[in-house]
Amino acid sequence: MNTKVLETVKAIVAASSNIVFFGGAGVSTASGIPDFRSATGLYNQRRGSKYPPETMLSRAFMLHHPQEFYDYHLNNLIARGAKPNTAHLVLAELEKAGKLRAVITQNIDGLHQAAGSKNVIELHGNTYKFYCLGCGQGYDLAFVDSARSLPPTCPICGKMVRPDVVLYGENLDGAVMQAAIDAIRKADVLMVGGTSLVVYPAAGLIDFYKGNKLVLINQQATPFDARADYILQGDIAKILPAFVENFDTKYER
């Protein structure tokens, strides 16, 4: 990692009160949650099923094979006991300090909220939230865990209760996308981290940033590196603490 670039970005963060962070799976890997596309990622773990993960995470599979869908969801997408890592904690600290205006995340693990972040825009939903396909009533994981059989059914209308996540074959929520676009358009600093930036339409959100402080933090190169004003290559959970004064003391890492 380039120390000079790190010091420059630290100064930018210190001077700004309008930062937006856009992150992906790499933000949560230090919490023990696998990413999707790496060699050890979720999509390369067949786990004995005759169906590939991309198939099991589709709307069609949920509707036609609901029990198998739920078995996969509960065993692979819900990281019970996972805790926020330093990346989540730093972002919450920056928000508390009045510097960070929004976290836009492709993750569905709820760890940003667990760390204390308030303005979190979840592009792909939240794996701990559920709703009825019939009446729309919302439910939590405790309701699903207590169900006598899978898929769980709504006690109000009897229809299937599904996870509140965006599956293959479904569109992102328009209102959520607009909130992300608005935040990025207004940002002074756009910090992007832990994402390969190959998944659309989420990756296309960067096009709405017109400023000159685009910071990319990632382990590998991304298709947007040429457009970045600053690149910090490495583990985001190890890089972000540099942006909060006395972070090590506060959290006794």
What pLDDT is recorded for position 79?
86
State mean pLDDT over 21-32. Answer: 93
Higher pLDDT, 88 or 53: 88
Place 196 in a pLDDT band, splitting at 50, 70 and 90: confident
Collapsing DSSP to helix, strand or coil, 168 comes out as strand
pLDDT at position 252 over 90: no
Contacts of 203 (CB under 8 A, 6+ apart): 195, 197, 223, 224
Place 245 in a pLDDT band, splitting at 50, 70 and 90: confident
Give the Å distances, CA to CA, from 151 to 54, 60, 61, 133, 164.
19, 15, 13, 12, 14
Place 116 in a pLDDT band, splitting at 50, 70 and 90: very high
* CATH number for the domain formed by residue range(s) 1-32+82-124+168-253: 3.40.50.1220
Instruction: Indicate which residues carry an active-site annotation.
Output: 124
**Distance from C-alpha of 23 to C-alpha of 50, rounded to nearest angstrom:** 31
What pLDDT is recorded for position 112?
97
State mean pLDDT over 1-14. Answer: 91
State mean pLDDT over 163-174. Answer: 95
Kindly list the domain boundaries of the chain, sorted by start residue.
1-32+82-124+168-253
What pLDDT is recorded for position 108?
95
**Distance from C-alpha of 98 to C-alpha of 17, rounded to nearest angstrom:** 6
What pLDDT is recorded for position 36?
64
Cβ pair 139, 130 in contact under 8 A: yes
Cβ pair 24, 196 in contact under 8 A: yes
> The tokens of 124 are what?
């792909």
Give the Å distances, CA to CA, from 230 to 11, 89, 184, 210, 225.
12, 22, 17, 15, 9
State mean pLDDT over 93-110. Answer: 96
Higher pLDDT, 95 or 44: 95
State mean pLDDT over 76-93. Answer: 93
Peptide bond into 152 cis (omega under 30): no
User: Which residue shows structure tokens 């926020």?
Assistant: 84
pLDDT at position 169 over 90: yes
Place 238 in a pLDDT band, splitting at 50, 70 and 90: very high
3-class SS shares of the chain: helix, strand, coil, % to 5: 40, 20, 40
What does DSSP assign to residue 199?
S
Considering 32-36, 187-191, 195-199, the range whose residues carry the highest mean pLDDT is 187-191
Share of the chain above pLDDT 70, in %: 91
What pLDDT is recorded for position 41?
58
How far does CA 114 lie from the centroid of its chain?
Answer: 13
**Distance from C-alpha of 68 to C-alpha of 155, rounded to nearest angstrom:** 22
